[in-house]
Structure 1
């Protein structure tokens, strides 16, 4: 099947081009960089950024905010109604560890809300596409499969996305408030949000620092798949009436804590 939006097809193509640039460096022996001024991570990040910005400018006249070009003033940014939000390479630790859990992220933001998102994991040859109001899909190889978030049912073990290592006291407090057993589902980068979008996890509480480009694309995928991405108050972690996570509404591009839930 094809995606029901030609622009989404183009954005996925761009994400794949960026992924090719990243993989060309990822597959090298990182030891060759030891005597050079650049790192494989920096080189891959910039190569992906350059191809994404160039290609987006060829199909759209909207501004682009990327992690690699984040020095745009708030005075300019606050005039934007629509823009592209890009993280050329999310999951720096995963890239360095070579575990494959890193992603290319491209989101279309409209009035503070993600309306389209593409998350592409080049080492896994897996893409996630979300079109809010139209649906969400996962692509492995050539086939698109519709995805949807799955609500927790009584008696079922809660599957919670989290860190592979240390769990903070705030996370432990949230888990203690859940009724029933919990199981940690570990994953890197923006793929954490995608696990809720595909129904492989029920919750992803984020009680640590992230920037808007870390979440925009996967937020669109999660929303399109029927999940919610809401601001999380650690003192009241299961507040169902929390406001939606929003973008470009303040000078800082840091996100508040948030919860992805089905």
Structure 2
């Protein structure tokens, strides 16, 4: 099956899950609990996961799946997978719970240890971002009277302008300040959902995002493909590439999402010791 067909399946699946998620979101009919890692999960996460698993297992039965909401597959079982689906049924569950709208369904196809397809569907914003290796990155508007798609790129850079830093709505700016060089001027843009902040960089609305804290490979897979196809990258806090399906744990180290590669990032951001949470 071609990657173009797989992208079409991922888009269809993400949008179908998004319809179900919005049913819970609009009438606030969901229940919420805390998982063992103290992150929230709702009945909407589970419903989205069920739809994604059913769609992908039916349409691509030969491609295995890793999902945040399914038990971890041991490394010994998955280490030789040449490709697999990597899912986050709702990225930004906390934003979903408080009603901000900044949440998304994430689907990535990982091939030979790297994201080759990424789909991020934000149903409350009526937006879908997607990317495919050697195809580019795109933003699609899903309004009834305006269903359009266009290619996106990271922002151009001139040395005189301020660097735009995407941050969480509940993130303390002072925390980010310790990692940013005082030689540069910064603006801060608050947005929920890790993947949507990465998409903001991909479409030129921000230049970087520093994630200090626990995330999973499912948080970065889809947006890494989109951001790279738009001209950016995601790396760990020591400026090394992220890895996928290489360790027993599926948790990421601290990471940096970076836009235009002409920005002198090693001067802008102070590297710090990477921490894998196992």
Q: Shorter-normalised TM-score: what interval? A: 0.7 to 0.9
**Could you tell me which of 182, 186, 202 is aligned with 2:186?**
182
**What residue number does 1:223 align with?**
228
* Correspondences of 1:96-115 after superposition (within 5 Å): 96-115=97-116
**What residue number does 2:51 align with?**
51
Question: 1:41 Cα shift?
Answer: 5.2
* Correspondences of 1:107-186 after superposition (within 5 Å): 107-141=108-142, 142-167=147-172, 171-175=176-180, 177=181, 179-186=183-190
> What is the distance in 1 between the residues matched to 2:114 and 2:170?
31
**What residue number does 2:6 align with?**
7
Q: TM-score, normalised by structure 2?
A: 0.83
**What residue number does 1:238 align with?**
none
> What is the distance in 2 between the residues matched to 1:33 and 1:91?
16
Question: 1:168 Cα shift?
Answer: 6.8
RMSD: 1.9
**What residue number does 1:89 align with?**
90
Question: 1:33 Cα shift?
Answer: 5.5
**What residue number does 2:272 align with?**
none
**Unaligned regions of 5+ residues in structure 1, if any?**
35-39, 234-241
Contact 2:22–2:124 (Cα < 8 Å) also in 1 = yes
Question: 1:93 Cα shift?
Answer: 1.1
Question: 1:248 Cα shift?
Answer: 0.7
Q: TM-score, normalised by structure 1?
A: 0.87
Contact 2:201–2:227 (Cα < 8 Å) also in 1 = yes
Report the number of matched residues.
Answer: 244
What SS does structure 1 have at the residue aligned with 2:253? coil
Question: 1:151 Cα shift?
Answer: 4.1
**Unaligned regions of 5+ residues in structure 2, if any?**
33-39, 260-278
Contact 1:155–1:180 (Cα < 8 Å) also in 2 = no
Contact 2:118–2:226 (Cα < 8 Å) also in 1 = yes
Question: 1:6 Cα shift?
Answer: 2.9
**Could you tell me which of 241, 245, 250 is aligned with 2:247?**
250
What SS does structure 2 have at the residue aligned with 1:244? coil
**For residues 188-232 of structure 1, what are the alpha-carbon distances to aligned partners after superposition, in whole Å with 9 as ceiling and x for unaligned?**
111011111101111111111111111111111111111011111
